[in-house]
Structure 1
Amino acid sequence: MRQPRTTTVVATRNRREALERTLPLHTGPVILVDNGSTDGTPAFVRDRFPHVRVVDAGRNLGSPARNVGVELAQTPYVAFADDDSWWAEGALERAADVLDAHPRLAVLAARVLVGPEERTDPVSVLMARSPLPGTAGPGVLGFLACGAVVRRSAFLEAGGFDDVIFFFGEEERLAVDLAARGWELAYVEAVVAHHHPAPSRDPQARLALAARNAVLTAVLRRPWPVVARTVLRAAGSGRPGLAGLRAAVLRLPRALARRRELPREVEQARELLERAP
């Protein structure tokens, strides 16, 4: 019997009902990292899904919880899933075949189908139109974590997700760091993930979080003129943007301590994507 090539890593917090629906849909090794749930998720999963390896972080690590799962994985590739997402039948085998065939490919960004109506996520649409070249598909400098399969060694080499961004939009900093190290990232439409997110309970808070993390990502890696434009864009976007700026200030010392501008060719590629229709 062929050894599994891909482990699915799920990060969760207080989403036991969603996990009850999605965990049976995962194939192969599964590692669930619990971000300090208070609804009994770790015990529930251990009891109902004994094949799933459960790691109880004891607190909310945010997106870096996925790093814990990647470190524990014993396979060359890792697929990420949210508690409300899963991979289509055969998708992980197809993804592993692509990664096997392209040894410099660090991230395979899949097509994400959203909700019962199975509409293509707008981010997937943008990635499909990327003007960047790629060997496995259009080159990208970002991805949706719940629709990404990564090369474990490359992910760990680049440091995984970081606690400055913490959560929401955490993919961009990792993507550009991988590109800066010479790794490829590509959108592969033939690999499909499903995502059935619950409606946001606080859309304004999510807008503020997006503004905060856009500013922090720019501070971490982009030239100062780009940082200035990002700050002005947030300031001009109303109350959520201003709230995001205030939140970014609290994390600014850590972002500045880890600041490292991208190589010129990666920054140029990022600017090309921003100018694309």
Structure 2
Amino acid sequence: MTAAPEPSSASSDVTVVVASRDRRADLLATLPRHEAPVILVDNASSDGTVEAVREAHPEVTLLALDRNHGAHGRTLGVARAGTPFVAFADDDSWWAPGDLARAVEIMRAHPRLAVLNARILVDPEEELDPVCAEMAQSPLGAAEDLPGPSLLGFVACAALVRTEAFEAVGGFDPVVRFPGEEERVALDLAAAGWGMAYVDSVTVHHHPSSRRDDPGRRQAGIWRARVLTAVMRHPVPGIVEVVRTAVRTGRPGMEGLLRAAPDLPAALRRRRPIPEQVRADLRLLAGEPA
């Protein structure tokens, strides 16, 4: 077994929370790379993940769930962590050596920062994830009290969060689940006055697993999340526009609408429309007139 890295100087303040399902091989390769205590949330794997991790990595805190909670499993992991900061990683991602400690120091220096989104290098070729170029050029600019371009979203597998802020907005909820779980959290953080920023000086490596949903199914899942998030947080005209756009996209959007339907009552119970300033920032990001 590969020896685990020495804990960083930030390890007492940060926990790495990994959510996984049926990716035993990926986990066994990435768990040793983390430079802070790890909580693994296993979403009811059926491939022997739990037993393999217990044998190979007894130092990992394991939450073995009896059903698939999706991204909400990360929220359960944060509740167990008990540290002021939590770094999210997928079973196929990890923070570059030394960068998690640096990210914690950046968070400490910027008390309004709720989410730090790192630079993401993808695949063994270590190519920059295109979403990073978008974040670096955020139309929201860079607030003086944040360490980089302001965001109204983030990528969960490359995010360091302030536990206080994350839990105050409820974390990843059991309605959206996965994928697309970040949007509702980001909207609520912005509504509460917290900041999110892209920081190019810290890096997360992401080597996407070969065990992934096919692209069509994933796109339908993203549309499901957009619809449910709109119901929970957008004004009625915004909900209508999201539904219309989903219909115009064809099969993925229509499938997403169908998959969202059973969870609409739960979304309506959680409805709390975002304030005008956050809606204005959304329009700015969409390139719409002020």
TM-score (norm 2): 0.92
Distance 2:172 2:147 in 1: 24
Q: Any gaps of 5 or more consecutive residues in structure 2?
A: 1-7
User: Aligned to 1:245, what secondary structure does the other structure show?
Assistant: helix
2:4 corresponding residue in structure 1: none
Quick one: which of 233, 236, 250 aligns to 2:248? 236
Name the aligned partner's letter for residue 26 of structure 2. A
Distance 1:251 1:55 in 2: 25
Return the offset for 1:192. Answer: 0.7
Distance 2:98 2:118 in 1: 13
Match status 1:106 vs 2:106: no
1:165-186 alpha-carbon deviations (Å, 9 max, x no partner): 1101100100110111111111
Distance 2:228 2:82 in 1: 33
- 1:11-90 aligned within 5 A: 11-90=19-98
Deviation larger for 140-149 or 202-211:
202-211
Return the offset for 1:275. Answer: 1.1
Name the aligned partner's letter for residue 167 of structure 2. L
Name the aligned partner's letter for residue 15 of structure 1. R
Return the offset for 1:201. Answer: 4.2
The percent of aligned pairs where both chains have the same amino acid is 53
User: Aligned to 1:275, what secondary structure does the other structure show?
Assistant: coil
1:188 corresponding residue in structure 2: 199
Structure 1 runs of 4+ aligned residues shifted over 3 Å read none
Match status 1:137 vs 2:177: no
Return the offset for 1:74. Answer: 2.8
Distance 1:223 1:120 in 2: 35
1:227 corresponding residue in structure 2: 239
1:89-108 alpha-carbon deviations (Å, 9 max, x no partner): 11111111110001111100
User: Aligned to 1:28, what secondary structure does the other structure show?
Assistant: coil
Quick one: which of 201, 208, 214 aligns to 2:220? 208
Distance 2:232 2:130 in 1: 26
Q: CA RMSD in A?
A: 1.4
Return the offset for 1:227. Answer: 1.2
User: Aligned to 2:94, what secondary structure does the other structure show?
Assistant: strand
2:269 corresponding residue in structure 1: 257
2:279 corresponding residue in structure 1: 267
Name the aligned partner's letter for residue 274 of structure 1. A
Distance 1:204 1:102 in 2: 39
Deviation larger for 93-102 or 248-257:
248-257
Distance 1:51 1:119 in 2: 32
Name the aligned partner's letter for residue 243 of structure 1. E
Q: Any gaps of 5 or more consecutive residues in structure 1?
A: none
User: Aligned to 1:163, what secondary structure does the other structure show?
Assistant: coil
Return the offset for 1:270. Answer: 1.4
2:133 corresponding residue in structure 1: 125
Equivalenced residue count is: 276
Quick one: which of 158, 174, 194 aligns to 1:147? 158
1:133-191 alpha-carbon deviations (Å, 9 max, x no partner): 33211100111000000001111111000111110110010011011111111111111
Return the offset for 1:198. Answer: 2.7
Return the offset for 1:4. Answer: 2.2
Name the aligned partner's letter for residue 46 of structure 2. T
Name the aligned partner's letter for residue 131 of structure 2. V
User: Aligned to 1:81, what secondary structure does the other structure show?
Assistant: strand
